Structures are given as structure tokens and as C-alpha cells.
Amino acid sequence: MITEFSREFALLTERFKDYLLFERGASQNTVKSYMSDLNAWYVFCRKHDAAPEKLNADAVSRFVLELTAAGKAKSTIQRNAAVLASFAHFLVYDGEESHLPKLDELPKRDKKLPEVMTEGEIQRIINICEDGTALGKRDRAIVELAYGTGMRASEICNIALKDIDFGSGVLYTRGKGSKERSIPFVGAVRRIVENYIEDTRPSLNRDGLPWLFLSRNGQQLGREMLWHILRKRGQEAGISISRLHPHVLRHTFATHLLRNGMDQRTLQEMLGHSSILTTQKYTHIDEEMRDLYDRYHPRASEATEEKNELR
């Protein structure tokens, strides 16, 4: 039975739902499960006079111990811990907290292959957008900007024309906590977005709105619409639905830059991470993907031998 949350926590969980659905691509069933687990956390906090929106390390540890003492299955405890970890990341991502809380080690699930697209898959989505329509040109500009800058979905939806400095080739965005950062706006990304602004956006902008990207009806895009656009174009390109959400483009942007030699500090600035530890996870993603390739791909050993011979 779901408990009625306090007003503050209820508003926070509504934003968390949007984040799960439209930026992480979670299913309705997954979101329902997350809310059930957050309900258990909320009941615990009310019982012990703790603030559920503040993931205090001591409170979280006692919560896990209480679940264990109640005889909950290990998988249930792992799932509850995973939900709290995801909620903690959301609080930082959405600007509620500046840093991840220092929690004691929580029970972990087995690692899954990180969700990152290949360069070929990105190109397939871009090619699908080239259908000669105004919405196709808008969608390509969205994909190019997301993959070319690593911006969050909410940042893409909120960017206005005034945030783009065409003279110096810099784009300004306000991320979590309304902290402004600058992002290079150059090359193919700039060319495609400029073409969209000049040739397509005027036909969508019936009401003189300032936002860069507009809907078919001339309204500002929301995170839900952005998610639908990527899912539609990705499915048309034959890409697995599990990887069709805006945050995957951010993951892909970071992973591809690291793989091609960008240093972590520069990437940290571009992504708007307050801590280098958050950025370093992309190094781990790349290493895990390479390890999995070496382990499972039938031609991996041949590729390694050939590489060694050329040295």
C-alpha cells in the first residue's frame, strides 16, 4: 500500500518519475516499482523522524539493516538499495544536492553492459531524420546537438536563441543548480543547428517564442516530447528500444570523447560535473565495453595480435 507522501517529498518524486521516464527511458512498471520502494523508505523515515529527501548515511544504513532484520530477500534489499542510489544521483542531477551523499557500501546488483550507442548507430538515426520534412530537420538538429555537446535533456529543452554566441562559437546552458557553463558550438553540430534555425524554425515559431527547439504546434519541447522523438527515430533506424532515451546520447558523447583521447578534466567541465569522480565512470564504461569485446568477440584475439604486430 502506497503511503501519501508529504507535499515536499511528493513534488520531488514527481520530478524523479519524469527523470526516470523521459531521461532514463524506464518503463511504467519500473517507475511503479521505484515508487513502491521509495514508499518503504518514506515510511521508515517517518517512523524514525528522518527527512526522506535527505539521504543521510546513518539513516540509509539503518534502513538496510531493518530490511535485513525483517527477513527480506537479498534481491529485495538490493533493489531497495539500487533505488536509493538512483534517487541520490537524481538529487544531484536535478540540482537539489551539490554532491552525492557519502553512504556506506550498499548491497549491489550484478553489473549490466552500459548503455552506449556506436558511431554507426548515431549515424543511422541522423540518416533517418533526413526525410525532407521540417520536423526531420528539427529532429536531426536535436540529435546532433545532444550527441555533439552531451547536454542533458532538460538543458536541450530550455535552450533559447540568446544562449548561442554565434560569433565566438560557444553555447551557454544552465544545468543543475542553475549553474551556467559554456560548451563549444562548432563544426557539423553548428552547421546543422544553424541550418535548422534559418530554414526550419521560422515555420514552427508561430508565436515568437525564444526556445531553440519547438514542437509541431510551435510550443516549447518538454522532456517527454524529446524522449518520444528519439524513440521514434531510433526505432525507425532499427535500434533496441532499451537504449532509446536522451541520456544515452550524453553517455555516448562522453564515452566516445574519452576513447578518442580527451582528458577527464576537460570532459568534466563540458558535462558540468561538480566532481571528477562522476566523470571517471565513463572511463570505466569504456574499459568494461573493451573487456567484454575481448572476452566474447570471435575476432578480438586476431585484432589484438594484428595491433601488436604493427607496433
Question: Is residue 282 annotated as a catalytic residue, yes or no?
Answer: yes
Q: Which of 176, 190, 251, 256 is catalytic?
A: 176
The type of residue at 32 is K
Q: Which of 24, 152, 190, 201 is catalytic?
A: 152
**C-alpha cell recorded at residue 170:** 560557444
CA 78, CA 198: separation in Å to the nearest integer? 51
Q: Which of 137, 138, 247, 256 is catalytic?
A: 247
Question: Is residue 152 annotated as a catalytic residue, yes or no?
Answer: yes
Question: Is residue 17 annotated as a catalytic residue, yes or no?
Answer: no
Q: Which of 223, 250, 251, 256 is catalytic?
A: 250
Q: Which of 34, 42, 147, 282 is catalytic?
A: 282
User: What contacts 194, CB < 8 A, 6 or more positions away?
Assistant: 166
Question: Is residue 250 annotated as a catalytic residue, yes or no?
Answer: yes
As a whole number of angstroms, the longest Cα–Cα distance in the chain is 65
Question: Is residue 72 annotated as a catalytic residue, yes or no?
Answer: no
CA 279, CA 266: separation in Å to the nearest integer? 10
Residue (of 245, 91, 269) closest to 173 by Cα position: 269
Residue (of 100, 109, 94) closest to 55 by Cα position: 100
**C-alpha cell recorded at residue 22:** 523521459
Question: Is residue 233 annotated as a catalytic residue, yes or no?
Answer: no
Q: Which are the catalytic amino acids? A: 152, 176, 247, 250, 273, 282
